[in-house]
Amino acid sequence: MAGARSFERGLGYLSAVSRLEIGDEVITATVDGTDTYEVELIEDEDGRLSGWCDCPFGQEGNFCKHCVAAGLTVLGQADSVPQQRSAAASRTRLLDTWLESRTRGELLALVREQLADDRDLRRRLELRAATAWEDTGIARERILTLLDTRPFARYGYVEYADARAYGRQAAEAVTALRALTAAGRAADAVEVAREALRALGRAYGEIDDSDGLIGDVATGLAEAHLEACRTARPDPVETAEWLVRHLLDEVNDATDIDLFDYREVLGEPGIARARELVVAAWRANPKGWAEKYLIERLLKADGGSVDSLVAVHAADLAPNGHTHLVIAKELEAAGRAAEALEWAERGLREVESDWAPDDELVTFVCERYARAGRLAGVVAIRRDLLQARPSLAAYQHLRTAARAANAWEGSERAGALEVLKAADQPDNRRWYGGSVLVDALVDDADLDAAWQAAADGFADERQWLALADRIRDKKPADALTVYLRWIEPLRKQTGDRTYEHMAELLLGARACHRTLGTESEFATYLAALRADQKRKRKLMATLDLHGL
């Protein structure tokens, strides 16, 4: 579960495990590392193990070295684990029995004692009391307090390490809203849920919700609001107005509310009002994302014509042709294939100069050309794309299309390589990743041409070394010059990655000398290098590890 690296590191933390407690269901422990971390291990009924740790690596969902250390500590006392679990179950039963034997007064005293020391518990019970005693003001205040990010925020932002705790607290707001509805106060729940949705929507952009926990809370709030509306049956027109305002408000992206989930609540008067508001909003701002989504959703729900949908999309065409593709798909689904292809072709023509065409749009057009036997058309599209934005992927696509049309070997390939050569002149080539020309020639397995291009200045270190690896069995002398060339600058560098890289290059050089039958020369070179670098103990250890 941990992987070799975390497992190996966990071995070094066995002495850092403390406060190990083996419960009947959960094992908990504290592990001292860079900080003090809390670990939980759970084994389900099928024997599957899961672990959680509040260290940064563990909070990303990984079975970290601290979980490993706690688990190995438990395994170190495996013989006693069944007895410890049995004892924990006995303690739980004893506590239950003791609580059941207390008088009402004793239990109240015990609860009040805990409330004095635990503010979170006090807030949760105050919320339950407000729900039970019909005090909407307190319930509202407590629910909004549960959604307040300030206690968890650092410099106004809830970081990943704190988001889990905030999510657990915020989830209680969902429970409280549902309790209001269950207690016969659905109308109050509707109003409080609206405020809660807005509060979380405003805060959501300031939370690192990588695990989606806060998104789940937002979904829960939306569901609690819908449940309350179905029970309370608020004014349909006013509800429609609130829903449309909510869905058009950019701070409410976190809540996944669908207007038509409320169809039963809104009835025909509410739906009519919602339709009126959505159309007006779209006409006022046809490029707005929310407005566009709502009008599209409205048309589909109402069974609107495909031409109406096309008009909506055509009002705001994306510069990379993606919207043309959306329109083409709608038309094709409606059985209007010819018009669909026209829109897709138009999308390719209208791509703005600063943008690359949408990959899916290109594929859409090429696939339909191929089905119609228009292979030359596919080649032309792929050729134009290579000329506009030279890349290995564009070269590969052109090669595939041209081979299908029996037009690759000869002028088409030669023209493509000229495009790459012109784009990657040595004084203008990319600083990172080498030249596309060399990558394309290697991809073609044309190693002689790739070597010549590299010699002409078109290759970076990565490409030179990749070429050396490919040719060293047949041209060991050429490959050897490459390895030796890139070893030399590493003599002045330090660091684990440098030492590993030097070892890899030396292994390549040794392979070349073996093929050439000059192993004694390599031994002399290696001995001189080790003597020159002998003060770098880590490098010497790395070379020893690789048998050098």
CA-closest candidate to residue 513, choices 529, 525, 502, 501: 525
Enumerate the β-bridge partners of residue 18: 30
Which structure tokens are listed for 254? 């976190």
The phi and psi torsions of 17 (rounded to 5 degrees) equal -85, 130
pLDDT digits (tens, 9 = 90+) for 160-203: 888 888 988 899 899 889 988 988 889 999 999 999 999 999 88
Q: Residue 235: inside a domain, yes or no?
A: no
Distance set, CA 497 to CA 192, 198, 491, 539 (Å): 57, 50, 13, 10
Q: Residue 208: inside a domain, yes or no?
A: no
Alpha helices by DSSP H, listed for 249-321, are 263-284, 289-301, 306-314
Count other Cβ atoms within 10 Å, centred on residue 96: 10
Are 363 and 376 spatial neighbours (Cβ–Cβ below 8 Å)? Answer: no
48, 82, 101 - which closes a domain: 101
In 399-421, which positions are buried (b, 16+ CB within 10 angstroms) versus exposed (e)?
bebbeebeebeeebbeebbebbb
- Predicted TM-score of the model (pTM): 0.57
Q: How confident is the model at residue 379 (pLDDT cuts 50, 70, 90)?
A: very high
Q: Residue 85: inside a domain, yes or no?
A: yes
CA-closest candidate to residue 315, choices 282, 340, 356: 282
pLDDT digits (tens, 9 = 90+) for 289-317: 888 888 888 887 766 678 888 888 888 88
Task: Provide the number of structural domains found in the chain.
Answer: 2
Q: Residue 10: inside a domain, yes or no?
A: yes
In 63-86, which positions are buried (b, 16+ CB within 10 angstroms) versus exposed (e)?
bbbbbbbbbebbeeeeeeeeebbe
Show Cβ contacts of residue 52 under 8 Å, excluding neighbours closer than 6 positions. Answer: 39, 40, 58, 67
Q: How confident is the model at residue 55 (pLDDT cuts 50, 70, 90)?
A: confident
86, 101, 116 - which closes a domain: 101
Range of the domain at 32: 4-101
pLDDT given at position 476: 94
Q: How confident is the model at residue 431 (pLDDT cuts 50, 70, 90)?
A: very low
The helix or strand, by DSSP H or E, that contains position 123, with its residue range, turns out to be helix 119-132
Q: Residue 367: inside a domain, yes or no?
A: no
pLDDT: which is higher, 375 or 250: 375
**Sign of the alpha-carbon torsion through 10, 11, 16, 20:** positive
Highest mean pLDDT among 31-45, 432-446, 529-543: 529-543
pLDDT digits (tens, 9 = 90+) for 496-528: 889 999 999 999 999 999 999 999 999 999 999
Q: Residue 96: inside a domain, yes or no?
A: yes
Q: How confident is the model at residue 59 (pLDDT cuts 50, 70, 90)?
A: confident
